[in-house]
């Protein structure tokens, strides 16, 4: 090949054209990759979009486990009415509905174990197995864990192994949220007063709007849910805007799965909540005392504690626990604001996976429907 000015010019021109062709090709490839990424984000967001707590109540009533608004009394413990009235079964002195529509009260048998494992596999395919050791171990051996637990601690739905446990926890383990709740004591008490003293919903009823009566052997136990099993109750939320704002500011509130609840809880004088277990050990139940007359007590794992007005009490409700109010009529009711917080030793990756697995409605058994 002879080197001449003309040949060099042709080579440079050919090189420049090749570069332009490559730039165009690279641009097209980059655009295709971007479009594929946007489509993937849309699909994942649509199929597994765990909406943040704020604003969720604006969407209207939600079905959880087949129940409009997500209510099946206190963590699905309530007085059976209508078609569920014949489905009540006594366990630990406490009435549980046996409706197939109710997540909490459905027996945690082989069917649930299989659905848990399939949900975990689906999560791992979409995201990652990284950090899933304890969750995988818990889901895989769930039946053995639930059946072999000592009687003092026996969660009814899901047990996460290798998690430090104790009946009561120091306020320091969730310091930010405890301090926020205690600072909100005046606002929460005022909001309770406003909903508690409303006239009854209908004649012959003693319950103001939004309140539910739960099953107790004696006395009255009333609850006013803002969030029940991870689902906001729309009308109740709209009546309690300040309490809803407080929930939105909590860092560890379980807002996106079935183990999360928030409510005002009232025990009348003489009331007894008999011994029972909570559904899981991945949460801590927090009680902020709003009204605490004498002779009220909470016993968890055999350890008694008393509430205090304006202070939080943290306990693991997967331990056998009961509560009672032995005061007289002149003492008035015991009132607490109850929220479910993450156990401090559940890692962020585990929380994300559990939110996915226990998203309201995900574990419903579709067979026969």
Phi, psi angle pair for 146, to nearest 5°: -65, -35
CA–CA separation, 63 and 320 (whole Å): 30
Q: Where is pLDDT greater, at 302 or 145?
A: 302
Q: How many helices (H) and strands (E) does the chain have?
A: 9, 16
202-224 tens-digit pLDDT: 766 778 899 999 999 999 999 99
Domains in the chain: boundaries:
168-346
Contacts of 10 (CB under 8 A, 6+ apart): none
CATH number given to 168-346: 2.60.120.330
Reported residue count of the chain is 369
- Ranking 8-12, 83-87, 305-309, 344-348 by mean pLDDT, the lowest is 83-87
Among candidate residues 235, 199, 324, 226, the one with its CA nearest the CA of residue 274: 324
Separation between Cα atoms, residue 261 and residue 338, nearest integer Å? 8
Q: What is the average per-residue pLDDT within 167-181?
A: 97
Tokens of 269: 């004088």
Task: State the Cα–Cα distance between residues 37 and 151, nearest whole angstrom.
Answer: 50
The residue behind tokens 């539910």 is 212
Measured between alpha carbons, how far is residue 321 from residues 194, 318, 337 in Å? 30, 8, 18
Closest CA relative to residue 75, chosen from 260, 325, 282, 257: 260
Which pLDDT score is estimated for 27? 74
**pLDDT at res. 200:** 82
Cα(339)–Cα(350) distance, integer angstroms: 20
Q: Which residues contact 327 (CB under 8 A, 6 or more apart)?
A: 269, 270, 293, 294, 295, 296, 334
pTM of the shown model: 0.73
Confidence of residue 28 (pLDDT cuts 50, 70, 90): confident
User: Buried b vs exposed e over 235-254: b needs ≥16 C-beta within 10 Å?
Assistant: ebbebbeebbebbeebebbb
Residue owning tokens 């006395």: 219
pLDDT tens digits for 255-295? 999 999 999 999 999 999 999 999 999 999 999 999 999 99
| Distance in angstroms (rounded) separating the CA atoms of residues 64 and 350 | 23
Q: Evaluate whether 284 touches 342 at the Cβ level (below 8 Å).
A: yes
Contact 189, 240 (CB under 8 A): no
Asked if 336 and 307 touch (Cβ cutoff 8 Å), the reply is: yes
pLDDT band at 29 (very low <50, low <70, confident <90, very high): confident
Q: What is the pLDDT of residues 71-129, one digit of tens each?
A: 334 445 443 444 333 333 333 333 344 444 455 555 445 577 788 888 999 999 988 88
Confidence of residue 16 (pLDDT cuts 50, 70, 90): low
Q: In 3-state terms, what secondary structure has residue 39?
A: helix
Q: What's the mean pLDDT in 342-349?
A: 96
User: Average pLDDT, whole number, for the chain?
Assistant: 80
Is the pLDDT at 49 greater than 50, yes or no? Answer: no
Q: Where does the pLDDT of residue 31 fall: very low under 50, low under 70, confident under 90, or very high at 90 and above?
A: confident
């Amino acid at each position: 090949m002879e080197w001449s000015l003309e040949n060099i010019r042709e080579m440079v021109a050919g090189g420049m054209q090749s570069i332009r062709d490559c730039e165009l090709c690279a641009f097209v490839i980059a655009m295709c990759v971007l479009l594929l990424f946007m489509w993937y984000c849309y699909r994942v967001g649509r199929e597994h979009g765990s909406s943040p707590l704020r604003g969720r109540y604006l969407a209207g009533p939600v079905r959880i486990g087949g129940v409009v608004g997500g209510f099946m009394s206190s963590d699905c413990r309530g007085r059976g009415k209508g078609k569920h009235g014949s489905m009540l079964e006594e366990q630990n002195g406490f009435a549980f509905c046996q409706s197939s529509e109710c997540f909490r009260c459905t027996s945690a048998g082989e069917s649930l174990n299989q659905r848990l494992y399939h949900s975990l596999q689906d999560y791992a395919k979409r995201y990652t197995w990284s950090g899933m050791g304890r969750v995988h171990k818990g889901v895989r051996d769930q039946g053995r864990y639930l059946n072999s637990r000592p009687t003092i601690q026996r969660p009814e739905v899901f047990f996460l192994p290798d998690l430090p446990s104790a009946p009561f926890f120091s306020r320091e383990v969730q310091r930010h949220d405890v301090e926020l709740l205690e600072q909100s004591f005046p606002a929460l008490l005022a909001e309770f007063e406003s909903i508690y003293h409303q006239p009854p919903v209908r004649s012959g009823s003693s319950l103001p709007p939004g309140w539910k009566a739960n099953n107790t052997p004696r006395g009255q136990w009333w609850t006013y849910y803002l969030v029940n099993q991870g689902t906001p109750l729309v009308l109740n939320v709209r009546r309690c805007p300040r309490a809803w704002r407080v929930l939105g500011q909590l860092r560890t509130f379980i807002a996106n799965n079935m183990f999360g609840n928030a409510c005002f809880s009232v025990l009348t004088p003489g009331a007894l909540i008999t011994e029972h277990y909570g559904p899981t050990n991945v949460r801590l139940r927090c009680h902020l005392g709003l009204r605490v007359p004498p002779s009220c007590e909470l016993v968890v794992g055999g350890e008694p504690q008393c509430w205090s007005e304006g202070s939080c009490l943290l306990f693991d409700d997967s331990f056998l626990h009961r509560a009672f109010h032995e005061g007289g009529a002149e003492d008035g009711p015991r009132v607490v604001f109850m929220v479910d917080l993450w156990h401090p030793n559940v890692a962020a990756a585990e929380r994300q996976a559990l939110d996915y697995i226990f998203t309201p409605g995900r574990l419903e058994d579709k067979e026969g429907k």
